[in-house]
Amino acid sequence: MSASPERPRLVVGVDVGNSTTESCVAELPASTGAVGGPPATDPRWLGGHLARTSGVKGTSQNVAGIVQSVRGALEGCGRALEDVDVLLLNEATPVISGMAMETITETIITESTMIGHDPSTPGGEGLGVGRTVGYDALGEVPEGDAAIVVIPREVDFEDAAAAIEAARARGVEVRGAVVQRDDARLIANRLSAPLPIVDEVAFVDRVPLGMDAAVEVAAPGRTISTLSNTYGLATIFGLDPEETRLIAPVSRALIGNRSAVVVRTPSGDITARRIPAGALELIGERTRRSVDVDAGAEEIMRVLRAVRPLQDATGAAGTNVGGMLAGVRDTMAALTEDDPGDVRIRDILAVDTSVPQEVRGGLAGEFRLENAVALAAMVRTGRTAMERLAVALADETGCRVVIGGIEADMAIRGALTTPGTDRPLAVLDLGGGSTDAALADREGRIATVHVSGAGDLVTKLIQSELGLEDRDVAEQIKRLPLAKVESLFQLRLEDGSVTFFDEALPAEVFARVVTLGDDGRLTPIPTRASLDAIRRVRREAKRRVFVVNALRALEQVAPDGAIRRLDFVVLLGGSSLDFEIPEMIAEATAEFGIVCGTGNVRGVAGPRNAVATGLVARHAEGEDGATEIAEPGNDAQGTRPGDDARPGHDAEGPHRGDAGVAGAPTEVRS
């Protein structure tokens, strides 16, 4: 015991999460916690703080984030690092998560070249079929030939219109035009008879000349109907059934466009390479099952349920899924400094998604939504990593560092500081990397489970489905409500209400979909997707990760696996601060008759800081504190509240147990 009995001891609890590091400062009466001392007294809470986790959770890289978080908390209550009696670190953070995403479809155009980028202002309307000819060669096209003229950036719109008129006067059938600049309407307005024109084609120099081509522009408010129809293309180009099969991806890629160009090129110089998505091998304790990734996320999750508890997952080498899991394994191995062969994937969340991919064979940077599967995988970290972190932290701060307290146990203790809560209680900790559930029954016995997939996966889904380059934009979409700037002075929020401004809004946000910051800041989202589409992507991503995981996790801690037998659920963790995730989960659990709400740790911290608070609470309840790392306890069954001599519990225990029945704490740590 390092504290002198005369003065109160200053204790800081630290919880390192996937994305944030939280700390909680409290003062304990001098004698609290001493062996054989007076009964535990409530800690005097001084405050908490939150910092970004540095590096990956559970590694020595975390020290910087911890120090920042602890300093912040201490500064908030006017204390210094030197005053700290002990830093409490949550017991070996049991899981780290990784994500991978792989497209399982790909559009490669081999027999044709297409332009399907959908410029905002195409010219003319109708369908034109002819042979592609460069602007300079238009004068040499023989009389009576059908031509599609290709016009580069250097050509002025009036000259282009005059040249087309001149060629027509000579008897050349000019049937359409492909233009590099945004000039389609300007040219179309200067012609005596209408002509379909597609403009803003960035790589106009790559349009093959002397080839059969078709240009289609639909009337305003409509979409093209011939080039987006496989048999329409077959009719235009006179294709046989085999050729029609090969051109089908082109028409599929053009569906929904207002304008398009398809150029028929001699076949065969590009061959389609398709990597099979492959099968996912799920290895359970008693059984192993294989599931085809093509079958989709729902089927993968159904099979996973059947093999649970999962011991490992692999994918066949040379397939997409094999590469994906190998990637996760390598990343994890690098972080934990284990051999990749020793890394075991203990949970998987599969989510169906779509990814905009550049169409190979397109000429204007076209994108097409390809189907993809996102996998969040979770592995357990080695205990050594946590010990290394504790040593590094002690060196850095000069404080005594104690690792202890099972994270879930601590989360429940923290959650119980929420006004109006009592055992039995289930908590759902919605974090960045994993979703954790824990159930404490009336006697204080605790069952826990960690499932992979949480806030980071939501961000990744939003980023990939909207094709955003910047992860921060996706993060903002996840966290903030959307709005559409409807005029220079008004904004329509996603709930339909309208806000007016006295000052004109900046030009950058005009007519754009923006995120509405807490400080009123408007950030434009760089996509053409509508507000409704972005909102749908956002809500679906949250639903597919958090609602699915909440039910999956609760099911694993509930007595007999029956969610119905739970009464109270408290939501914790950063993602519980989200403006719609808690209500989505509340709605989904309401049908099981569960009372579900967001926690309010210490009555002030909201759903944050539960584990850090729990660490301090346990310490105050009379932990000895003399051992840096406690020895495994034998009385792991039926832990009393306040009995915390259980860190170091058997690492090879089952991932989940029938906790409510046997009361066995089933948390597994390294």
**Interface residue list for another protein (CB under 8 A):** 120-121, 124-125, 157, 182-186, 188-189, 191, 193-194, 486-489, 504, 506-508, 510-512, 524
Tokens 């037998």, residue?
Answer: 565
Nearer to another protein by Cβ, of 117 and 512: the residue is 512
Give the CA distances from residue 429 to residues 39, 553, 575, 659, in Å, rounded to whole numbers and listed in that order. Answer: 30, 10, 8, 18
- In angstroms, what is the minimal distance from the CB of 490 to another protein? 11
Nearer to another protein by Cβ, of 413 and 512: the residue is 512
Q: Are 372 and 103 in contact (CB under 8 A)?
A: yes
- In angstroms, what is the minimal distance from the CB of 525 to another protein? 10
Nearer to another protein by Cβ, of 169 and 193: the residue is 193
What is the C-alpha to C-alpha distance for residues 547 and 529, in angstroms, rounded to an integer? 25
Nearer to another protein by Cβ, of 119 and 455: the residue is 119
Nearer to another protein by Cβ, of 506 and 593: the residue is 506
φ, ψ for residue 580 (rounded to 5)? -140, -15
- In angstroms, what is the minimal distance from the CB of 182 to another protein? 6
Handedness of CA 632, 633, 639, 644 (dihedral sign): negative
What is the C-alpha to C-alpha distance for residues 322 and 314, in angstroms, rounded to an integer? 7
Radius of gyration of the chain (CA): 31
Tokens 């989709």, residue?
Answer: 296
- In angstroms, what is the minimal distance from the CB of 459 to another protein? 24
Nearer to another protein by Cβ, of 125 and 475: the residue is 125
Nearer to another protein by Cβ, of 290 and 527: the residue is 527
Nearer to another protein by Cβ, of 182 and 583: the residue is 182
- In angstroms, what is the minimal distance from the CB of 222 to another protein? 14
Q: Measuring CA to CA, which residue among 58, 44, 79, 55 is closest to residue 14?
A: 58
- In angstroms, what is the minimal distance from the CB of 161 to another protein? 12
Q: Are 512 and 485 in contact (CB under 8 A)?
A: yes
- In angstroms, what is the minimal distance from the CB of 511 to another protein? 5
At 663, the amino acid letter reads: G
Nearer to another protein by Cβ, of 194 and 309: the residue is 194
- In angstroms, what is the minimal distance from the CB of 376 to another protein? 34
At 350, the amino acid letter reads: A
Q: Measuring CA to CA, which residue among 629, 555, 622 is closest to residue 594?
A: 555
With a CB cutoff of 8 Å and minimum separation 6, the contacts of 7 are: 30
Q: Are 610 and 429 in contact (CB under 8 A)?
A: yes
Give the CA distances from residue 8 to residues 12, 96, 347, 514, in Å, rounded to whole numbers and listed in that order. Answer: 13, 36, 44, 51
DSSP run (H or E) holding 28: strand 20-28
Q: How far apart are the first and last CA of the chain?
A: 27
Give the CA distances from residue 548 to residues 224, 378, 431, 446, 453, in Å, rounded to whole numbers and listed in that order. Answer: 39, 16, 14, 22, 10
